[in-house]
Each structure stands twice: as C-alpha cells, then as structure tokens.
Amino acid sequence: MSEPDAAPRQETAVTSDAIESPLLEVTGLRKEFGGVVAVDGATFSVAEGSLTGLIGPNGAGKSTTFNCITGIHEPTGGRVTFDGQNITGLPPYTLANQGLVRTFQIARELSEMTVLENVMLAPGGQVGESVIRSVTPGLRGDVVKAETAVRDRAWETLEFFEIDHLAHENAGNLSGGQRKLLEMARVLMTEPEMILLDEPLAGVNPTLEEKLLERIHELRREQGLTFLLVEHDMDVIMNNCEHIIVMHQGSVLAEGDAETITSDERVLEAYLGGDV
C-alpha cells in the first residue's frame, strides 16, 4: 500500500490519561463458529472522545469483533467493558440504551418509510399511542409534546447531515451515499456516547465521503462522541485516526499512530503483503 497523502491530520484532544481509562475495553475476546476461530483473544481499548481505526486484511476478524462488541454475536470467551460496565453478550437494544451503537456495511433503512419517519423511529423510550392516552386530555397532550420534540430533533439531525431536502422521500429511493447519511442520522437520534462505524464510506462518492468525515469530527469536537472505525481506505484511516488497531488472523497484531503502523514490518507483511 502506498504512503497516505500528506494531508493535514485532524487535531485531537485525546491524551495518554484518556487511553489509560478507556471508554471501551475488549479483553481476550474469542469467537468460534463450529471449528473455525474467527476472533482469537483480541485485546484493545478505545479512548473516550477518540476516532480509533480498526484495520486488517479480509478475514482478520474485524466484523466479527464488531458483532461481538455490539451483541449481534455472543462471544465464546473474553470480556467487553463499556464505560466501566461489563456488557459482554448483552443484546443490541440494551447496549443502545447504554449509549453504544453501530452502523453496518450495508445501510438498513426502512425502505417503504420516508427519511423523516426513519429518523423519528430511532429514539428509544417513546411514549406512543394507547386507548387511555387517546381519551384522556392530559395524557394525550403528553403524547403530542413528546412527538413534537422528536420531530424537531429529527429535522435538526437531517439538517446536520444535509439531507433535510429528502425528508419526505421514501428511504428506498436514496442513493448509497445518502443511505449512509441517513443511517448516521438514525444512530445520532439514539443519543449515543460511542458509535462503531463498519465501513461507512464504502460506495460513497468523494463529496459525500468528505461530508461524512466532517460530521464525524464535528460530533467529536462538539458533543464528545467516541468512534471506532473499520475502513478499507487507508488514506482515510491514516489521515483521520490518531490511534490505529491492526488485526490479523483474529488477534491484534499491532497498535499505534499512523507513523508507527506504516513502519511496522509485521503490518507490512500481514496487511500489505510486504509491499511498502
């Protein structure tokens, strides 16, 4: 792989103290499928407020690691800790309520619903309708107020990702890049502390790619959100992530900043085939 372009690195406020007290900590994670070991003792941590990259060749175990962290798969062994709490094996909806959410390689929008409706469905704990609320004036007012608040937040979120002009378009009619923006909007509506991004830029044109990266850095800067990013575009990883984790054959091979990773002979051999 070629060296990344000499684009300016994004500034980060992450310190060594933050890394010593991580928001997410994965320890000895293992996942077996029958006789196949997909993740084999992976151990790493993610600092609060950071944009951390997770890379590795195909079959390295990145997506399975994501799935084990976020409750899609139950780990065979190991431990996952988020914000000081053991979350190993908890289901995705429980993790979302605790502030840990993810996106997918292929966006999972509700295609027959509008963009606005997709975003409004995302927050948990909504009041909703019931027979009693519909016939009780005071309770009915609570429903209206709650729905108005969610709608207002949804519009603000669509504006943030610059897709508010698509609010009344069916989600199934969006382009691949627009669906990625919609998925990010839906995730943001859950009010997360940390977002795991599984190849968010795959199939996205350069203009939308730049927009997504700008929004990610703005969310870090303005809201203090933490991101763990799987991405095959090494220029994106090297120019945007201050800490990079390299997986190989289900385990963590190396960690460090871009300079450390690109000069690590083990990484060059495993990930780049020895071709600098």
Q: For 168-184, write each residue's pLDDT tens digit.
A: 999 999 988 888 899 99
* CATH number for position 239: 3.40.50.300
Q: Are residues 196 and 130 located together in one domain of the fold? A: no
C-alpha 204/C-alpha 148 separation (Å) is: 32
Residue 97 CA: distances (Å) to CA of 68, 122, 179: 17, 11, 23
- 276 compared with 257, residue with greater pLDDT: 257
Q: What's the structural domain count of the chain?
A: 2
Could you tell me if residue 276 is inside a domain?
A: no
Spatial distance between the Cα atoms of 23 and 19, rounded to a whole number of angstroms: 9
Q: Which residue has the higher pLDDT, 78 or 15?
A: 78
Specify whether 224 is located in the same domain as 237: yes
Q: Are residues 123 and 198 in the same domain?
A: no
Over residues 78-96, the pLDDT tens digits come to: 999 999 999 999 999 999 9
Residues 25 and 96 placed together within one structural domain of the fold: yes
Cβ pair 129, 143 in contact under 8 A: yes
- Give, in degrees to the nearest 5, the angle at Cα 206 between 227 and 222: 35
243 & 150 share domain: no
Within this chain, do residues 51 and 160 fall inside the same structural domain, yes or no?
no
Highest mean pLDDT among 16-20, 105-109, 112-116, 126-130: 112-116
Tell me, yes or no, whether 91 and 157 share the same domain: no
What pLDDT does residue 105 have?
A: 63
pLDDT bin (cut points 50, 70, 90) of residue 10 is very low
129 shares its domain with 152: yes
Domain assignment of residue 46, yes or no:
yes
* pLDDT of 249 higher than 80: yes
- Dihedral over Cα of 90, 93, 99, 105: its sign: positive
Across the range 187-192, mean pLDDT stands at 92
Question: Do 161 and 224 sit in the same domain of this protein?
Answer: no
State yes or no: pLDDT of 214 exceeds 90.
yes
Q: What is the pTM of this model?
A: 0.81
Residue numbers of the domain that contains 229: 17-106+191-270
Rounded CA gap, 251 and 10, in Å? 28
